Amino acid sequence: MTDTPPLRVAIAGLGTVGAGTARLLAERASDLEKKCGRALRLGAVSSRDRTKDRGVSLGGIAWHDDAMALARDPNVDVVVELIGGSDGIARTLVEAALANGKHVVTANKALIAHHGAALAALAESKGVALQFEAAVAGGIPIVKAFKEGLAANGIKRVVGILNGTCNYILDQMQQTRRSFGDVLKEAQEKGYAEADPAFDVDGIDTAHKLAILTSLAYGTKPDIASVYIEGIRHITFDDIEYAQELGYRIKLLGIARPTEHGIEQRVHPCMVAASQPLGQIPGVYNAIETEGDFVGNALFEGRGAGAGPTASAVVADLIDIARGHITSPFGVKAAALTAIAPAPIDRHQGAYYMRIQALDKPGVLASVSTVFFEEGVSIESCLQRGHNPGEPVHLAIITHVTRESSMAKALERIAKLANIMESPHMIRIEPL
């Protein structure tokens, strides 16, 4: 035992992660005290339902119906915010807790992506910690990696599978040869996807996490508005099959890298070589690949969500605070964070996959090729599935490296050609 007073912890929100954090603090109390040199003591909680069985005893712990009471409680040293949402009670609570000189730990990626710079400045002005390891990639210690292990490096790029729901859906579409809708329904039944899956499948969750990683990697203020976002709803089993035939896997990636036009921040489906590490990440797992100018490539992989992994990240932040290890939230002083200079998506250059549904008639491919030629896009290869004269068939076209703006113009023109049955669909090919 130690004579150092315990770190008095309060948890706002007792959902999956909050209950998991309470269990971890209870079950590993003795080991945590040894590692910290002081106890981590859960002394107060706030949640709407007092009757729910959360799998952990909360006896003897102060219960506040109003979460804001935690920010005022003199018996609380650190508030763990697990309510969620970029504004509302979550933001108000965090601001109040920091203003009252309390440390804050949060798993709220939306809050940090939208208001991280201002909250970091407030925390620094009060001499307290704002920690958010659990906000990105669950139990993978990627925030700490950027702030500490990779801090000596100039980061050339960050590429990540940051949403387990999307990775599960795309992986199952490939493994079981089913449609997006069928796999999404299964993911909802298994609890991997919410009843309203938009936050995940439309890329918003990934964009929040990417905005945070970009700030950590490049010393910029989080700027969710400058992230290009595209989800996975339009991915079909035909795309999955073509990708497999071409030696690729389709993954929803978050990508950040500096370019001559500014910093790219892109979230969209990508074709990734099946032989590459990110091409092999299964199911609900997350993975982040970084490239530093001195360290080279580094890959971080693990579970990106769930009670255990996320609670692990929350408590890791509590351990840092208990040890007195308090650093600037983004690795540099808030005043040193710069406004991001975003690179427009139309300046992006890369290779592309395009799927076209067209009537199997003479001259269709020639018309498509003419459009590509006139827009300065070079075709590397073309595949056609089936041969049904006069009937719809799918064409898959792979281009050489070209500018996004040229591809956009080509797609717009091809959609208007005779015998094209639907708007062409494009997926970027990402070299890793």
Closest Cα partner for 329 from 98, 67, 22? 98
What CA–CA distance (Å, rounded) separates 199 from 206? 9
What CA–CA distance (Å, rounded) separates 17 from 23? 10
What CA–CA distance (Å, rounded) separates 376 from 63? 65
Alpha carbon distances (Å) from 253 to 175, 204, 228, 286, 331:
19, 12, 11, 10, 24
Active-site pick, 102, 109, 147, 209:
209
Give the gyration radius of the chain's Cα atoms.
24
| Residue 305 DSSP one-character state | S
Residues 6+ apart with CB under 8 A from 246: 271, 353, 383, 396, 398
Alpha carbon distances (Å) from 74 to 71, 80, 211, 378:
8, 15, 34, 67
Closest Cα partner for 94 from 61, 133, 129? 129
Cβ 403 vs Cβ 348: under 8 Å: yes
52 is catalytic: no
The burial of 298, by beta-carbon neighbours within 10 Å (0-12 exposed, 13-18 middle, 19 or more buried), is given as middle
Length of the chain: 432
Q: What is the DSSP code string of 28-97? A: THHHHHHHHTS-EEEEEEE-S-SSS--SS--TTSEEESSTHHHHH-TT-SEEEE-S--SSHHHHHHHHHH
**Residue 125: what are its φ and ψ, rounded to 5°?**
-65, -25
Q: What is the DSSP code string of 360-424? A: B-TTHHHHHHHHHHHTT--EEEEEEE---BTSEEEEEEEE-SEEHHHHHHHHHHHTTSTTB-S--
- Residues catalogued as catalytic: 209
